[in-house]
Structure 1
Amino acid sequence: MSEIVRLFGARAGAYASFRPDYPAALFDWLASHCAERQRALDIACGNGQASRPLRQHFAQVLACDASIEQLRAAETPAGISLFAANAEAQPLASASLDLIVVAQALHWFATPAFFAEVARLLKPGGIFAAWCYGLMRINGPLDELIDDFYRGTLEGYWPPGRASVNAGYRDIQAPFPRLEAPAFAIEAHWYFTQLTGYLRTWSAVQRWERQQGRDPVSDLEPALLEAWGDSKQPRFVRWPLHLLAGTAH
């Protein structure tokens, strides 16, 4: 089991509770580019944040993750089939999928072997799409605290691959003709406890805590609360999405 699988499996429940939902417009756009809408695959599905909205557009959604703990935390509405698998080795027939998505995970396995597997699985003209989001934006004082935490306290604790998120996936070259996409963003109204819960799902936070023996979010919490103000009042939070999409030959 890789370190990434262990890290996300260790806090699967928190991941399900505190990771933000993706915008419906993203899935509308993806579906509009698919010639058929029979089968879609969500790779590294986590708790199913992308799987569930895909079900509104496709007859069947397959969702896999290397973490059993993440799969156990996932919701499984009718029409979604969960299974455990590594991203690079899918137990599925060739040319059997209309769409493959990877939400906030491609940076952990963007290898030639993975893209060869995607090319094998997609029907001719099928769509591949992967997206990521970086740091949230709330307001000046909170953004500054979170940026300092991300780049200062947690420097050296992010697993390899995180640099691709910082680059907005511009450093990943997928072997498919690119699809130009509109700008998408995650938007939410969050309470303070949702912010701190979300920060604790970060892989670097977990690595820092294991090495230092205490929770770094607790150290930051007083300053965050002062900048937030009334903890009973929600704030608007926004994450710009970076989308990498293409069409199979």
Structure 2
Amino acid sequence: MNEVSQLFDARAGAYASFRPHYPAALFDWLSRHCRDHQRALDLACGNGQASQRLPRYFTRVLASDASLGQLRAAGTIPGVSFYAASAETQPLADASLDLIVVAQALHWFAGPAFFAEVARLLKPGGLFCAWCYSLMSIDERLDPLIDAFYRETLKDYWPQGRASVDAGYRDIQMPFARIEAPTFAIEAHWHFDHLTGYLRTWSAVQRWERQHGRDPVSELIPQLRQAWGDGEPVRLVRWPLHLLTGIRN
């Protein structure tokens, strides 16, 4: 297991509890662009946040991750078959999939070996779609604090690949005919404790904590609490989604 898998394995339960869910409109759009709807794969599925949306559209849904902790956190999702495997080496037949999705994970392994495996797995005309989200937006008081935490406090602690998220995946080249996607965003209504729980799922937070022996989120909480205020216990949180979508010839 590589370092990234270890980081997500260590806090798999928190990841399942605090990471936001993807909008239904995204999966409606993906389904409309699939030629067939027999088999779909959620690759690097984590705890199955994208997987759970797919059985509505596909006869069989597979979900794979290198982290056993993440797979255990997924539990049982009706219509989804989970298994452990690396992104670049899947135990599936050639040309056996109509759709492959990668949700908030492509930046950890986007290279020639991965895309060769995707090309092997997809049927001709099969659809590949990866998406990511970076910093959330809440309001003019909280956003600067979170931005400074992300870009300054954690600057040197993000694993290699995170820059692709900041670039909205525009720096990743795929060997498929690209499809332009409409604008999608994640929206959630959170209490304050959900915000701090989410921040603790960041891989850079875990690396910072391991080096310094203390929790950087706890040190930020007084400023966040003051900016959050007492008047609105629940806040709207929003993340724009960035999609990389293509069709295998």
Counterpart-to-counterpart distance in 1, 2:231 and 2:3: 34
Alignment of 1:90-239 (within 5 A): 90-230=90-230, 233-239=233-239
1:10-58 C-alpha deviation (Å, 9 max, x unpaired): 0000000000000000000000001111100001000000000011111
Match of 1:85 in 2: 85
Q: TM-score, normalised by structure 1?
A: 0.99
Deviation at 1:76, TM superposition (A): 2.3
Q: CA deviation at 1:141?
A: 1.1
Is the 1:40–1:58 contact (alpha carbons within 8 Å) kept by the matching residues of 2?
A: yes
Contact 1:42/1:51 (<8 A) preserved: yes
**Aligned equivalents of 1:125 and 1:76: distance in 2?**
30
1:94 Cα offset (Å): 0.4
Residues 84-118 of structure 1: CA deviation (Å, up to 9, x unaligned): 00000000000000000000000000010000000
CA drift at 1:230: 2.0
- Give the ranges of 4+ consecutive aligned residues of structure 1 lying more than 6 Å apart after TM superposition: none
Residue equivalent to 2:30: 30
Paired residues of 1:190 and 1:236 also in contact (CA < 8 A): yes
Instruction: Report the Cα distance in structure 2 between the residues aligned to 1:173 and 1:232, rounded to whole angstroms.
Output: 43
SS of the equivalent of 1:140 reads: coil
Which amino acid in structure 1 is aligned with residue 154 of structure 2? L
- How far did 1:156 drift? 0.3
| Cα shift at 1:231 | 8.1
Taking the aligned partners of 1:105 and 1:159, their CA distance within structure 2 comes to: 12
Q: Deviations 1:170-221 (Å, cap 9, x if unpaired)?
A: 0000110001100000001110000000000000000000000000000000
Equivalent-residue separation in structure 2 for 1:230 and 1:73 (angstroms): 33
Gapped regions of structure 1 (runs ≥ 5) = none
Distance in 1 (CA, whole Å) between partners of 2:208 and 2:100 is 33
Q: Size of the alignment, in residue pairs?
A: 249
Deviation of residue 232 (structure 1)?
6.8
Amino acid at match of 1:124: P
Amino acid in the other structure paired with 1:38: Q
CA contact 1:191–1:231 (8 Å) conserved in 2: no
Rounded Cα–Cα distance in structure 2 between residues aligned with 1:28 and 1:229: 37
RMSD value over aligned CA atoms? Answer: 0.9
The residue number in structure 2 matching 1:241 is 241
* Overall identity of the aligned pairs, in %: 73
Counterpart CA distance in 2 for 1:79 and 1:218 is 39
Q: Take 1:217 and 1:232, find their aligned partners in 2: how far apart are those partners?
A: 21
SS in 2 for 1:5: helix
Letter in 2 for 1:99: L
Name the counterpart of 1:47: 47
Amino acid at match of 2:71: L
Counterpart amino acid of 1:57? Answer: Y
